[in-house]
Chain A
């Protein structure tokens, strides 16, 4: 196991190097003029040789190896560059936005996993009966919904009509509380910090704003877990020992809860880990339409404005998260299920 982990970690720098090359060469397809558009935001800035001056200032006309070397040199020195979209250094731009995305991903993962497992099991138990069909179809419908369409439905109903779930991350008042000197930041995730600080009002404010995105992500996301839970449960129910247990006259409830469900949950556990990781990279649209702070919307804006430093920095960050996250999932899978060998 140790060697396995060490080996995977050894490949991390290689993966990051690969990512940086992919992103870098994609950007190199652009002309210096296209890349300098990041700084020329209006026609008024076009005067005289401004465009050339800016291209020079940022070295955008240098040969590719010089540009890559310059970027790499800075990274080695711990400087990921300046994020024009974040209006701050890339590293701090990412670090200050990540907790919000993590918070959203974690809160969405809870109902997705819970609902998916519960309904999936139910579906398996009622295999091929109307309940099974209904659940599966409604899950597939959810899965077929683009998150931007469903997100707007949520905004429409829960904000415009009912006024319950406002968009954004934090209201102005709650924001002032969070920034005051009395408020201590423990995790960077406002829901947790506010409770630790005993500020229920801040908690409520931020929780209300989380509810809409969480609802959206849950609805479009729970189908996958449902499917895994269902098929895994069906498989287990078909196994020898369950039949034996049933034939021995054990109570159905005991059979299902004690024997079947426990075994069926192993694949669900793996997929759940992957779901959380996928959610971290899949919040782009939801963050955009709910106007939430987060790394997803940050990356989307950066990409659209062709902000090289932000895009490449963010991609590397995601690379680290995905590699470490998957490693964690694989290792814990091996720990839960003794049949799995890591090699």
Chain B
């Protein structure tokens, strides 16, 4: 027994003795603590921040954003940024030419060739994995939302039905049409002409450049030889469908990456949830300062913060609600920045059948009818009833920027003077009195507002709306319900929630990505707002949204987007636009060279930071 005590004592002493103190620990290594590990490293499957964070440093795009700008670009793997002036954009903005940089080497020593670039885009488009990012390029170049639609439209073949679970053709008669499809449509759209890469778009598409820009993982350049060796599509027309819509684990690029970027991938350790990158000393551009970068998922906020405090981490992801904890921490510096993400409350003009969230389903005080929000006065009343100032300044500590519509600040079409609803309880009451021909005011209602559990910002917003609306009329009841993401998704898909808050993060920096999502009758969100809305959108909005994206003149586009937003404001068709949350970037004060870019996946420019005591 005494021996055991001794062992414990020795163990304890060794442990304590192991504590070391250093000025800047590991000056050449940057440790970033995140809240997620990559979903996949295959650039054509990756559609989440954590994956993009790694991919942007391992692979390169053709062009990159110029500094903080969202609209100006600089050459990257391309030698020049195409524009109308330099005539690299031609044929009424349907042809884009990117002269490729020479002498660039992949991490394994292979030389970058135009063939690699063409292969990369072809592979991505043909792979089009379900719920992946490739729709962006497919929409931009061909005007379809998925490869499946595209193929079906051109050949009459439904890929879904033509392929068995092993991605083999069910019937040989599909083979030739599919080979032809590739050769007739995909191949001519992206071609190499010497060292020029030429894109042919089916029609002008305003946001095209931002879809290609750096930070867009779907548009990075792979090494064709290496990819084929690993087991990716071999570049032949015959059999491309065997690589279509793979599960992410079946992609050879799932956990390997050979790019031309400033860092090479050393390891993705899925047990420790850590990605280790090492400086690419043969990088064609400006080489990074730090030699090793570690992106490490630590879910627990307290642990992340403690590690930063102890100097074991250089930068940590900080949820908004813990701002107070880091503002006065010694040795820590805090930066703020707005990513391109907007929150809004969406109203379903008609709730889908079978919803358990309507109460009595009638306007009798104990519930709402399914088409509660199809009444313009209800929507307006909700917009008037939110105390924006208190919410923004007090409840959310000024860590959000209120937006008048669904466009993020600084986007084409965004304007300070965009009309918006202000907090006004009298007007809210008036609108409620007018709603449903006075029946609503007479009988009252019970409505449920939803948010996804874990998002305190959205929860607080719902709660404030609850307080205000209930105070208007004692017969008004509002319930605030948080749902776990799977249940939320289920309720969303089945159109069961009458009103809920959700956000949208920009895929690319163009208003089209927001306006079409929220206001087009086939938009990702708005298509689920019920038939009354879709009808309204088809009549009033669709043509404007479609016209705006095909326009190449920014000033015409801007006025079209202004017009759409004005209509949506008048009719309160957005639902209830809320804000763009501000992100908190917390790092040790020895971090130098950190900059913010609102479209960057992840929080750190690893290729530019270094560590040095102030």
List A residues at the B interface (Cβ < 8 Å).
30-31, 33-51, 53-54, 56-58, 82, 86-88, 93, 96-97, 110-111, 114, 118, 152, 155, 159-160, 163-173, 175, 179, 204-205, 207-208, 211, 288-291, 293, 306
Contact = CB atoms under 8 A, between A and B. Distances in A.
Please list the 3 inter-chain residue pairs (A to B) with the smallest Cβ-Cβ separation, ordered nearest first: A37-B486, A53-B130, A204-B18
Contact of A47 (B38, B135, B272): B135
On chain B, which size bracket covers the interface?
A: 35 or more
Secondary structure at the A interface, as helix, strand, loop or mixed, is helix
B556 interface: no
B303 A306 contact: no
A38 B135 CA distance: 20
A289 B303 CA distance: 7
Given A111-B8, A166-B310, A289-B303, A88 B270 contact: yes
Contacts, number: 153
A163 B19 contact: yes
Most chain B CB neighbours (cut-off 10 Å) among A34, A36, A179: A34
Given A47-B135, A155-B306, A160-B309, A30 B486 contact: yes
A167 B306 contact: yes
A245 B309 CA distance: 61
Interface string B264-279: 0001011111100000
Given A37-B486, A160-B306, A166-B307, A207 B130 contact: no
Interface stretch (B362-370, B463-471, B497-505, B543-551): B497-505
B37 A87 contact: yes
Given A37-B489, A172-B296, 4 more contacts: A114-B1, A168-B303, A170-B272, A293-B273
Contacts of A33: 486, 489-490, 493-494
Contact of A41 (B31, B48, B490): B48
Contacts of B4: 110, 114
B552 interface: no
Interface stretch (B9-17, B185-193, B400-408, B592-600): B9-17
Interface of B: 1, 4, 8, 11-12, 14-19, 26, 29, 31, 37-39, 47-48, 130-131, 135, 145-146, 148, 160, 245, 247, 249, 255, 267, 269-274, 294, 296, 298-300, 302-303, 306-307, 309-310, 312, 485-487, 489-490, 492-494, 502-505, 507, 524-525
Secondary structure at the B interface, as helix, strand, loop or mixed, is mixed
Given A47-B524, A50-B130, A87-B270, A164 B16 contact: yes
Nearest to A39: B131
A86 B309 CA distance: 29
Contacts of A42: 47-48, 505
Contacts of B135: 47-48
A86 B270 contact: yes
A169 B269 CA distance: 13
A82 B246 CA distance: 14
B249 A171 contact: no
Nearest to A38: B486
Contacts of B502: 43
Nearest to B299: A291
B146 A48 contact: yes
Nearest to B249: A82
Contacts of A160: 306, 309
A43 B504 CA distance: 7
Contact of A46 (B1, B270, B271, B524): B524
Given A82-B247, A207-B11, A37 B310 contact: no
A207 B15 CA distance: 7
B31 A172 contact: yes
A44 B218 CA distance: 14
B28 to A, nearest CB: 12
Nearest to A32: B490
A285 to B, nearest CB: 11
Given A46-B524, A53-B130, A57-B130, A40 B489 contact: yes
16 contacts: A34-B490, A43-B525, A45-B131, A46-B524, A48-B146, A53-B131, A56-B160, A57-B130, A57-B245, A87-B270, A96-B271, A114-B4, A166-B312, A288-B300, A293-B271, A293-B272
Nearest to A294: B271
